[in-house]
Structure formats: structure tokens, C-alpha cells
Structure 1
Amino acid sequence: MARLHDVVFDCAHPAAVARFWAAALDDYAVAPYDEAELARLRSLGFSGPEDDPTVLVEPAGGGPRLFFQLVPEAKRVKNRVHLDLLAADPEAEIRRLTALGARVRARYEDHVLLTDPEGNEFCLGATD
């Protein structure tokens, strides 16, 4: 039986989108870079974490990892899969997320549709 390992985002700027999601989600952080990883990036012609073409965001307490990878093409259509988030105070969370770079796209009775800085859709609803 398969198990979920990573949720992968194709993006133009992996480090920036990874930072957004690490800040947006409770108990998630960009995986740290050790000296060996920095040396590997330099050997491939990258200056460091900011232009890393593959950035990992990990949960502190288990759960799926988020993986951000560089792709050459731009986002063109609505996502076929998206993340659903919950918050105790959705309006306060919308203010926090938009300060991080999210945009509100639509409001519905039970949730709000937002996009991350590269246009990937996600929804925010209220916890029960």
C-alpha cells in the first residue's frame, strides 16, 4: 500500500515559495542546509539556498513534506489539486497570509479561496 511522502509544487522561485509555505503552516520549516549541501549546490553552479532549484519544507511533528522544484514553464490554469487549511479565526489568518504574499481570489459561505505568491490556489476555512 502506498503512503504519501511529499506534496510537490512546481514553481519559478522555489526558495521564495518554500518560505511562504513554511511561514503559512503551523510547525513547518524550510529544511536546514548543512555545509555538505551548500557545497553540493555550489558544485552545480548555484550560489546557495536562495537559488536552490529544489527546496524542502518539513513538518516538525510528522505529516507530509512539501517539496518545491524549479520548472521552466509558467502556471497557466487552475490547480487540479490544492491544499485546504483551517484556522480558528479565518479573518485574522487571511490578514496574516496576505501579509506573507497570499492573495484572496474569492469568498464563499464556508471558505475563502486564496493563492500563494506564484498563483497556486488553496482554501481557508474555519475550525469547528
Structure 2
Amino acid sequence: MASFISHLTIDCSDAYSLSEWWKPVLGYDDVPGDPNLPGHDECMIADPAGEGTNVLFIEVPESKSVKNRLHLDLRPRADLRDTEIERVIAHGATVVADRRGQYGPGTGWVVLADPEGNEFCILRSPAEVDKQSTPAGE
């Protein structure tokens, strides 16, 4: 019998603030019936459509000191990759590395960091991937 991922946990210094920052990035909300409040040392957010993995933010005493060994790869639901990157940067993310075009025109991703320095990537949207894989002339 195999296991499944219940939720993804992100260590942080302020669980409430970081969960609030991530909600509009992912389009997530508080878990129904379990609101996150200032001062909570654990805050869970969930995809309201029930399609994505829940994310739990837990306060820990130590600060982030090295590159994440695990990170989120985000794919825009509707917008293009570059539009989504601009949106998330305007929301307060910082650019860590720009890998757009690394494997040719129209490819790649951008590595960003949230306000506590946790890295995540924004990939091309499903429409961009489909367009890239469609043979010319079709």
C-alpha cells in the first residue's frame, strides 16, 4: 500500500502573515471552519476547488539559511507565464534567477522567493506548453 501527500508544510517565522501572502498567489482560502488568525503558529490554506494540495505554514525558531531542498513549481491557470511573474512580483516576490529561454525560445521558468525567502518557480502556462508542442502550421 502506498502513501499520499496530505499537505505541504512550509517552515516560517510568521505563519499568519505568510499564509495571507500566499493566498492570492495560489487563489487559496483558509480551510473552511478553521480560520487563520494573527498569532496562530500554524495556518493552513486550501484550494477552494479542491484540486490542489493544501499548504500548512508552521512557525519555527530558526530562520531560513540555505536554498530550499524542496520548492513549489507553479503553473498559471489562465495567464501566460510572464504575466503571472509580473503579478507575483507586484505582490512582493523577489527574483532569485531568471531561466526563461534556457532551453530555447518560449521555454524556461523564473525562480522567485516569498517574503521569508522560500523559493518557488513559475513555469509556462498549459496553453504555452500546448502551443510549443503543436507542430507548425496546425
Unaligned runs of 5+ in 2: 102-107, 130-138
Q: What is the aligned-residue identity percentage?
A: 35
Kept in 2: contact 1:17–1:117 (CA 8 A): yes
Asked if 1:65 corresponds to 2:66, the answer is no
Q: Which has the higher strand share?
A: 1
The partner residue of 2:39 within 33, 45, 51 is 51
Counterpart of 2:98 in structure 1 is: 107
Which protein, 1 or 2, shows the higher relative CO under an 8 Å CA cutoff with sep ≥ 6?
A: 1
Question: Counterparts of 1:59 and 1:91 in 2: how far apart (Å)?
Answer: 23
| Alignment length (residue pairs) | 115
Q: Which has the higher helix share?
A: 1
Q: 1:19-56: CA deviations, max 9, x gaps?
A: 12111013x1123566xx7xxxxxxxxxx811110001
Secondary structure of 2:19's counterpart equals helix
Kept in 2: contact 1:19–1:30 (CA 8 A): no
Question: Counterparts of 1:3 and 1:32 in 2: how far apart (Å)?
Answer: 22
Counterpart of 1:40 in structure 2 is: none
Q: TM-score with structure 2 length normalisation?
A: 0.76
RMSD in angstroms over aligned alpha carbons?
1.7
Map 1:1-128; keep pairs closer than 5 Å. 1-26=2-27, 28-31=28-31, 49-62=37-50, 63-87=52-76, 88-108=79-99, 109=101, 110-127=108-125, 128=129
Q: After TM superposition, what 4+ stretches of structure 1 lie above 2 angstroms from structure 2?
A: 30-34
Q: CA deviation at 1:60?
A: 1.4
Q: CA deviation at 1:113?
A: 0.4
Q: CA deviation at 1:125?
A: 1.2
